[in-house]
Amino acid sequence: MSLHEHTYKPYGSPSFKNSDEIRIAVNFQDLILDISESYIHIEGKFTPNDATKTCYLSNNALAFLFDEIRYEMGGEQVCMVRKPGITTTMKSMISYGESNMKFLETIGWGLDGGKQVLLDKASNVFSGKLPLKYLMGFAEDYCRGILNIEQELILIIARSFKNSYIGEVDADVEINKIEWKIRHVMPSDKQELKLLTRLNRSSTAKVKIAYRMWDLYELPTIRETASDIWAVKTTNSLERPRYIIIGFQNTDNTDNRSEDITQFTHAGVSNIRLYLNSEVYPYERWNLDFDKKLDAVAYYAYDNFQRSYYGKDMSEPMMSIEEFRKNPLFIIDCNHQPDAMKSSTVDINADGEFVNRWLADLAALLEVAFYVLGHLMPTLRNSVVQQILPACHTPSTWFESTIYQWRSPRTPGTLMAEWAPAAHDHPPSRDLVTPSAPVWLPPTSASDMPTVEANTIALTV
Number of helices and strands (H, E) in the chain? 8, 23
Indicate if the pLDDT at residue 218 is higher than 70: yes
69 within some domain: no
158 within some domain: no
Q: Work out the percent of the chain whose per-residue pLDDT is above 70.
A: 78
Instruction: Put residue 110 in one of left, alpha, beta given phi > 0 → left and psi -120 to 50 → alpha.
Output: left
Q: Is the peptide bond before 282 cis (omega within 30 degrees of 0)?
A: yes
The whole-number pLDDT of residue 251 equals: 85
Q: Which residues contact 229 (CB under 8 A, 6 or more apart)?
A: 349, 350, 351, 352
Q: What is the rounded CA–CA span in Å between residue 377 and residue 387?
A: 10
313 within some domain: yes
Weakest mean pLDDT among 68-82, 93-107, 383-397: 383-397
Model pTM score: 0.82
The whole-number pLDDT of residue 461 equals: 32
Of 43, 63, 76, whose CA–CA distance to 384 is shortest?
A: 76
Q: What is the rounded CA–CA span in Å between residue 371 and residue 342?
A: 13
Indicate if the pLDDT at residue 400 is higher than 50: yes
Report the domain count for the chain: 1
In single-letter form, the type of residue at position 121 comes to K
In 116-201, beta strands by DSSP E: 119-120, 125-131, 146-147, 151-157, 165-167, 171-186
Q: At what angle do helices 296-310 and 84-95 cross, to 10 degrees?
A: 100
Q: Give me the mean pLDDT over the 132-158 stretch.
A: 89
Confidence of residue 403 (pLDDT cuts 50, 70, 90): low
The whole-number pLDDT of residue 359 equals: 64
List beta partners, residue 127.
43
Torsions phi, psi for 291 (to 5 deg)? -65, -30
Rg (the chain; Cα; Å):
23
Q: Give me the mean pLDDT over the 93-120 stretch.
A: 91
The whole-number pLDDT of residue 455 equals: 32
Q: What is the rounded CA–CA span in Å between residue 402 and residue 371?
A: 12
CA atoms within 13 A on the CB side of 197: 6
Domain hosting residue 251, numbered range: 211-372
Pairing of strands 279-281, 171-186: unpaired
The whole-number pLDDT of residue 361 equals: 78
140 within some domain: no
Domain with residue 266: its CATH number is 2.70.9.10
User: Considering the chain, what is the average pLDDT of its residues?
Assistant: 79
Weakest mean pLDDT among 78-92, 114-128, 225-239, 272-286: 225-239
312 within some domain: yes
436 within some domain: no
The whole-number pLDDT of residue 395 equals: 47
- For 154-210, what is each residue's pLDDT tens digit? 999 999 999 999 999 999 999 999 999 999 988 888 887 887 777 676 666 677 788
Indicate if the pLDDT at residue 236 is higher than 70: yes
Do the Cβ atoms of 168 and 55 come closer than 8 Å?
A: yes
Q: What one-character-per-residue DSSP string does 263-281 give?
A: --B-TTEEEEEEEETTEEE
407 within some domain: no
152 within some domain: no
